[in-house]
């Protein structure tokens, strides 16, 4: 099974819990350090050739939209639930923008959804 690489950018410099969930599900989490990390998401995904990117900010959009505009990633933003993220992956999105939601369960379930979508389970 290919290990998926997930980059996490959080406006407040968090994301460690989601990263732990990604790791627990067999993925490789890269948490961008520092405040405004969400705005670096596209650049870090491109540099790391990541499979999936997760952006967190108040609106759930800024970092995701920036990644889409700069690199053309398929994005869904403004999400507020894990289920919305799972649906976005099923629809082919590779950058997911959430309001603040640093939970291990989110990381685990998104990796599982990605593996299911791409036959990587």
- Residues 71 and 49: beta-carbon distance below 8 Å: no
- Considering the entire predicted model, what is its pTM? 0.95
Enumerate the domain spans of the chain.
5-117
The domain over range 5-117 is classified in CATH as 3.40.50.920: no
CA atoms of 115 and 63, how far apart (whole Å): 24
The whole-angstrom separation of Cα 86 and Cα 70 is 24
pLDDT tens, residue by residue, 87-101: 999 999 999 999 999
In angstroms, the CA 57 to CA 63 distance is: 8
Mean pLDDT, the chain, rounded, equals: 95
Average pLDDT estimate for 53-63: 91
Model confidence at 66, pLDDT cuts 50, 70, 90, reads very high
Who contacts 5 (Cβ-Cβ below 8 Å, separation ≥6)? Answer: 27, 28, 30, 48, 49, 50, 51, 52
Question: Contact at 8 Å (CB) between 41 and 65?
Answer: no
């Amino acid at each position: 099974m290919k290990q998926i690489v997930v980059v996490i950018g959080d406006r407040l410099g968090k994301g460690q819990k989601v990263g732990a969930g990604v790791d627990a599900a067999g993925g490789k989490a890269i948490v961008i350090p520092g405040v405004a990390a969400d705005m670096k998401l596209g650049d870090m995904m491109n540099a790391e050739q990541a499979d999936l990117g997760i952006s967190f900010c108040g609106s759930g959009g800024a970092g995701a939209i920036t990644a889409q505009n700069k690199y053309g990633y398929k994005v869904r933003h403004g999400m507020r639930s894990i289920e919305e993220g799972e649906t976005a992956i099923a629809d082919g999105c590779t950058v997911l923008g959430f309001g603040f939601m640093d939970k291990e369960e989110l990381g685990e379930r998104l990796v599982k959804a990605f593996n299911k979508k791409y036959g990587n389970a």
